[in-house]
Amino acid sequence: MKSLAPKFLVVCALTASLVLTGCGSSIKTPTPKPTPIESSVAMAVPQDCLKTKVLDALRAAVPNARYIPTKWQPAPGTELGDVLGNGGIACSYGLQSEAIGLTVRWVSNSKMLFEANESKWLADGYQVIDIPNLTETKAYFKQRDQSPTQEFSIYSVNYLINGYWIGLNSTFGKTIAEGADWISSAVKSLT
């Protein structure tokens, strides 16, 4: 009696070979491509005062405006100290000889610097406002005309947008509408 084992092994090997061959195909199936993920543009504080969009916007009101290089020496605990001490930047533009212009400050609000100043702004007479055509989280505005008891006009806006605190101070202007171009150009300057 002959053993069936060798025939059985041959049949199993052939069957396995046919099954494995049948699984393969000479047609390559396309590998699905990952769907691109929409990402928002990363923003950051400007690194160079000459590369912001503010000067061009200011020139609509002050045609000969220039960047005014300033060596800042802020006192600790001031807004400017908070900005410069936390990786921010402050830039002045205008006509220095005529004391006409504006200063813009940018800083990340990762340390809640904006919120730390809110009570001070309210105590100083700032009003909570909504800036037209801007999606700011919150904004404060103060305007005072020059007077016998006040040497300079005050125009100051502090606003929180996209995780950044932007402060803008001008020696002229009366309404938010008058400063709309400067305000939006400061946001567009976040790189």
HEC string of 10-52 equals: HHHHHHHHHHHHHHCCCCCCCCCCCCCCCCCCCCCCCCCHHHC
Alpha-carbon radius of gyration of the chain: 32
- Six-digit token pair at 168? 């803008």
Question: How high is the pLDDT of residue 150?
Answer: 62
Residue 9 in this model has a pLDDT that exceeds 50 = no
pLDDT digits (tens, 9 = 90+) for 63-83: 999 999 999 999 999 999 999
pLDDT digits (tens, 9 = 90+) for 101-149: 999 999 999 999 999 999 999 999 999 999 999 999 999 999 988 766 6
Question: How high is the pLDDT of residue 17?
Answer: 38
- Six-digit token pair at 32? 């699905």
Q: Can you give the pTM of this predicted structure?
A: 0.76
Q: What is the mean pLDDT of residues 71-99?
A: 95
Confidence of residue 154 (pLDDT cuts 50, 70, 90): confident
Question: φ and ψ at 155, to 5 degrees?
Answer: -140, 110
Residue 13 in this model has a pLDDT that exceeds 90 = no
**Strand pairing report for 154-161 and 66-68:** unpaired
Number of residues in the chain? 191
Mean pLDDT of the chain: 82
Question: How high is the pLDDT of residue 153?
Answer: 78
Q: Closest by alpha carbon to 155, among 165, 168, 138, 139?
A: 168
Q: In the chain, pLDDT over 90 holds for what percent of residues?
A: 68
Q: CA–CA separation, 93 vs 82, rounded Å?
A: 21
- Six-digit token pair at 170? 């001008």
